[in-house]
Amino acid sequence: MTTILIATKNEGKAKEFKAFFGPKGFKVKTLNEMDELPDIIENGKTFTENALIKAQTLTDKLKMTVLADDSGLMVDALDGAPGIFSARYAGDHDDAANNAKLLRELKGLPLSKRTATFHTSLAVTSVSKEPLIVAGNVKGLILDKQRGADGFGYDPLFYIPELDKTFAELTPIEKNKVSHRGKAVQVLSENFDDWWER
């Protein structure tokens, strides 16, 4: 049985990928189950570069098949910020502080000018294979106050007009149907088997 290492400590994310790779006959592990990890310096300029750095560093050191993802929020009125710095926008990895900073930065701007995109890049690497890279995007609006209690990160501010809901008002299944990560996993599912057999 081939093991695939999901390059995250976030068990919520890992669960989504387990649901995808388990039925394909892979044993799925996360970083929480590894004793020794190499230092990974995520110094890429794009989501894709960072996902690839993470995945390839782990494949090279551990000789395993690895999936890494890198995601974030790009706000048009802020020239794409927080972008690759989404996790630590307000300093620490603190969702409440990040959301508060985003609200401050957009203060007074009408809803029509608060357009934003969530992005996910996924990189899968394996010994002696070219990496497989896919991505997913979703567009929405940044509300001027939080709505909903589910999800994580910027979910309570990220509003989908067509659904009249924020990401924090969707169940995990509903969110996966429309989210950046859900779409990237969809593209992965269309390409993975061909890539694996190549």
Ligand X SMILES: O=P(O)(O)OP(=O)(O)OP(=O)(O)OC[C@H]1O[C@@H](n2cnc3c(O)ncnc32)[C@H](O)[C@@H]1O
Annotated binding-site positions for substrate: 8-13, 71, 152-155, 175, 180-181
Does residue 169 belong to the site contacting ligand X (CB under 6 A)? no
Does residue 146 belong to the site contacting ligand X (CB under 6 A)? no
- Of positions 4, 47, 57, 70, contacts Mg ion by CB under 5 A: 70
**Nearer Cβ to ligand X, position 177 or 193?**
177
Range in contact with ligand X (rule: CB under 6 A) among 9-17, 18-26, 129-137, 141-149: 9-17
Beta strands 3-6 and 27-30, pairing class: parallel
Q: Is 70 a catalytic residue?
A: yes
- Of positions 151, 160, 169, 184, contacts ligand X by CB under 6 A: 151
- Please state, as a whole number, how many other Cβ atoms lie within 10 Å of the Cβ of residue 162: 7
Does residue 10 belong to the site contacting ligand X (CB under 6 A)? yes
**Nearer Cβ to ligand X, position 114 or 181?**
181
The angle that helices 180-197 and 11-21 make with each other, rounded to 10 degrees, is: 40
Q: CA distances (Å), 44 to each of 41, 80, 83, in order?
A: 9, 16, 12
> What own/partner pairs with CB < 8 Å and gap ≥ 24 does 108-114 have?
109/77, 111/141, 111/143, 111/144, 113/76, 113/77, 114/75, 114/77, 114/141, 114/142, 114/143, 114/144
- 166 binding partner (options Mg ion, ligand X, none; Cβ < 5 to 8 Å by kind): none
How far is Cα 55 from Cα 40, in angstroms, rounded to an integer?
9
Q: Is 52 helix (H, G, I), strand (E, B) or coil?
A: helix
Range in contact with ligand X (rule: CB under 6 A) among 15-23, 69-77, 104-112, 186-194: 69-77
Task: State the catalytic residues.
Answer: 70
Residues that bind ligand X (CB under 6 A): 8-10, 13, 69-73, 86-87, 98, 151-155, 167, 179, 181
